[in-house]
Amino acid sequence: MNILVLNFPGAERAALFSDERLENLRRLMDMGCFGALAASGEWNVLARQQNHTLTLMEYFQQADKLCVDTSDPLTLREKLSVGDWDYLQYTAASFPAGNWSADDYLRLDHDLGEALQELSDDTVILILGRDCFVLVSANNPISGEYAGGAAADIAPTLVQLAGFPLPSVTEGRSWVQGMELNDSSGLTADEQQILRDRLSGLGYV
Amino acid sequence: MKKVIVIGLDGFEPKIAEAMMARGELPNLQKVREQGGYSRLGTTYSAQTPVAWSTYSTGTNPGGHGIFDFLSRDPKTYLPVMALSRYEQKNAFVLPKVVNMRRGTPFWDLLSARDVPSTILRVPCAYPPDPVKGRMLSGVGVPDLRGGFGTPTFYSTRKDLHADQSEKVVAVRVENDRVATQVIGPRDPKTKSDHKFDIHIQIVRAENKIVITSQGQPDKLEVQLGKWSKWLKVKFKVGMMQSVAGIVRFNLRQIEPEFELYASPVNFETEEPLFPISHPKEYAHELAMKIGRYYTAGMAEDHDGLNLNRFDEATYLEQCRIVMRERRRMMEFELGRFERGYFYCLYDTPDRLAHMFWRFREAEHPSNRHHGYNAEYANAIEEHYRECDAVVGEAMKAVDDETLFIVLSDHGMNSFQRGLNLNTWLYENGFLALKPGVQPGESGDFFENVDWDNTKAFALGLGCIFLNLKGREANGILNAEQAEQTREGILKGLSGLVDAERGAVAVRSVSRREQVYSGPYVDEAPDLLVNFSEGYRVSWDTPLGGVPRGLFTDNHKRWGGDHVIDPALVPGVLFMNRKFRADSPSLVDLAPTILNVFGVPKNAEMEGSDLLS
């Protein structure tokens, strides 16, 4: 599994989750889970070990994964189109730090739509706002609104969805700990029925 | 000249039209004929709407545009697939995109490049629509909200009803003259269940009507017994965050003793269609704002409702009239603001109506034994042709000295009394094998129980035969030499095949694909095409790959007319208000003729020539 994190620190939950024009975001919300994030901890910290803070990035680097951290939209676009990454973390710097206008949200959705075009099915997608998240992954057993999550829970949850072992002690708690992950092939529907639906009403057959 | 106005009458049959003209019953068409001329018009292999209109559009034989039949097969699975368009989804996170499988260059692209505008209403095989200069509304190929050509729903208090192919049946209960039920929407690919929209029905017995209350628009919709309702806009919540809009019409069949209600297939709504159905994108809705809501599905006529006996002929005729009226309003509105360039409007109804009423022309039609014969409908097609003639008269009001006016059909219409089980013929003659112990009749749709390791050829679609070629089909067994022997064997055996029960030749000939096609997409064509005699067609079990018992079957369905026979037997019609070369014109000639009006040269692929030169 690849992991894509799109971080928009200026986006607020109230606007992000209520604007019906944000088609791409809403589609992802329906595919996965979303919710508010309590501000405790940092989303990208997996564990604190004595004098060392283990970030998600470091964790995946240690696992020999190709990691990218960028805030440049051009780099993001290029990386996505070439596909040479396993873990990609993007912090949107081309957006205001706060007080977003309606247009900023539309631009987020547009950029998101472009990014989605380049992904493969086995990607874990995390979208972060100032105080909220959307998390999509074919194997994610949680759907709909998820309450009570904290920023610190993000890192262990991502690690588990991506199929990696958790360190013995983690900063937050993984939401999918102890849950059975979905069979990712479960997304495809019954082919023959789809076929019958498609040919339904042709008249000639 | 600066205008070309084309009125398409799908499936308009020359023999009927000629007889009517001789009797003076088509005055407007007669007028066009006198101003210019009339001829029968050569159609395509095979004579089907999507194939023929794609040839009209591109000026090439089907080998140049890649549409050979409504259906094709997926060589990886042997399953029939819809041949007109395809949905491509890059990954699970993005919406699928529709891709038009009609390729080649439609002539309006050449017009657009030379700044000649077009208004194109309901042209088949333009889904998604072509980015034309001007306006385009897609036609045949646009699905309903469930993704098919049309899935109606039937609500009934009867317990013994079962859904047939291509419909949904909903059991309802009447309590205190109220019925709570739902409109059925798209299937959810994840949960595999249907999305639904709640409706509440109040029966008003004293007035023979119901009132449907819902969150839709309008919030209260009246439906009179036996009548078609107005459109109801519905919205299906397809997730917590997303919804899909559609429009549906109802027909109240019965209030007592049983309650029965028919709901049309849910059509795309114009303001927020699931996939684009017009160019520019907003155009479909702009039109709806001017003329009211209209059928957006490619197959607007509810032939299935009649075929499945959910309503009667009179109700179908009424629905056909509604479709005609909507189309005519579209045409009139657009002709009212049409100043220069190319105008096209297709009326699909002559085809859909004739399919269902042909049986009344032939008292001995096998369908009549099952569904009854009603002499009242013996001239239903003629009556409809008069309505078409009136449409032509209306369009002629927009014709001036600088206008080339064309009326044409893509193919004709004929009788469909007997069906040939093509796969059973292949089985009996050693070309198709069933798994050990399986007999014909024990193999259903989708080539169930076919033994691919021993099958040389298989039939699907409306007269297509594919070879089980090594390297091409998933379990292909034939090398090139064996393939040619197989084709030769089928061709010899099937040409001139006699229906013993009737003592008539059922198959006139069989064509090799390279005999009738040329161009870049011939590779995608069926290897052989079966050219049926009048009165014959592939059986109902053939198109989706069934191997039933027996070679020939009577056609018992109300769908008693068809045109997928030898194309030489079902030409279309061509009327022009200018004198034209009437030496066997064919559909490929229209593109060069229309281009030449605007001084735009045809492209190298176009095979026909200007009929006016």
pLDDT tens-digit map of A113-158: 999 999 999 999 999 999 999 999 999 999 999 999 999 999 999 9
pLDDT band at B394 (very low <50, low <70, confident <90, very high): very high
- Residue partners of B30: CB distance under 8 A and separation at least 6: B21, B24
pTM to 2 decimal places = 0.93
pLDDT band at B166 (very low <50, low <70, confident <90, very high): confident
Residue A13 near chain B (CB below 8 Å): no
Mean pLDDT of chain A: 91
Residue A97 near chain B (CB below 8 Å): no
What percent of chain B clears pLDDT 90, i.e. is strictly above it?
93
Residue with tokens 């999550």: A149
By C-alpha distance, the chain A residue nearest B558 is A203
Residue B463 near chain A (CB below 8 Å): no
Chain B CB contacts of A199 below 8 Å:
71, 80, 82, 148-149, 166, 544
Structural fold of domain A2-199:
Alkaline Phosphatase, subunit A (3.40.720)
Mean pLDDT of A155-167: 96
Residue A195 near chain B (CB below 8 Å): yes
Mean pLDDT of A172-195: 74
Q: What is the DSSP string of A111-143?
A: HHHHHHHT--SSEEEEEE-SSEEEEE-TT----
Evaluate the CA torsion angle B387, B284, B408, B558 in order and state its sign. negative
In this structure, are residues B51 and B140 in contact, taking their beta carbons and an 8 Å threshold? no
pLDDT number for residue B191: 77
pLDDT number for residue A141: 94
Chain A CB contacts of B238 below 8 Å:
30
CB contact under 8 A, B151 and A200: yes
Residue with tokens 């509810």: B302
pLDDT at B294 over 80: yes
What letter represents residue B142's amino acid? Answer: V
pLDDT number for residue A191: 63
Rounded Cα distance between A141 and A161, Å, is 9
Determine the distance in angstroms separating the CA of A5 from the nearest CA of chain B, rounded to an integer: 15
Q: Which of residues 143-172 of A touch B (CB under 8 A)?
A: 144-145
CB contact under 8 A, B241 and A27: yes
* Residue ranges of domains in chain B, CATH in brackets: 3-65+103-141+298-413+570-597 (3.40.720.10), 153-267 (no CATH), 417-560 (3.30.1360)
pLDDT number for residue B494: 98
Q: E strands of B307-443, at which residues?
A: 341-347, 403-408, 414-420
Rounded Cα distance between B542 and B444, Å, is 10
> Which among B94, B240, B304 has CB closest to A203?
B304
Q: Which of residues 1-40 of B touch A (CB under 8 A)?
A: none
CB contact under 8 A, A195 and B80: yes
pLDDT at A187 over 60: no
Rounded Cα distance between A204 and B165, Å, is 12
What 8-state DSSP symbol labels residue B276? -
CB contact under 8 A, A119 and B93: yes
What 8-state DSSP symbol labels residue B64? G
pLDDT at B428 over 90: yes
Decide: helix, strand or coil at residue B238: coil
Mean pLDDT of B587-593: 98
Q: What is the ipTM of this complex?
A: 0.88
In this structure, are residues B573 and B30 in contact, taking their beta carbons and an 8 Å threshold? no
pLDDT tens-digit map of B191-228: 778 999 999 999 999 999 999 999 999 999 999 999 99
In this structure, are residues B455 and B434 in contact, taking their beta carbons and an 8 Å threshold? no
Q: Which of residues 224-253 of B touch A (CB under 8 A)?
A: 238-242
Residue B437: φ, ψ to 5°? 85, -5
pLDDT band at A186 (very low <50, low <70, confident <90, very high): very low
In this structure, are residues B56 and B587 in contact, taking their beta carbons and an 8 Å threshold? yes
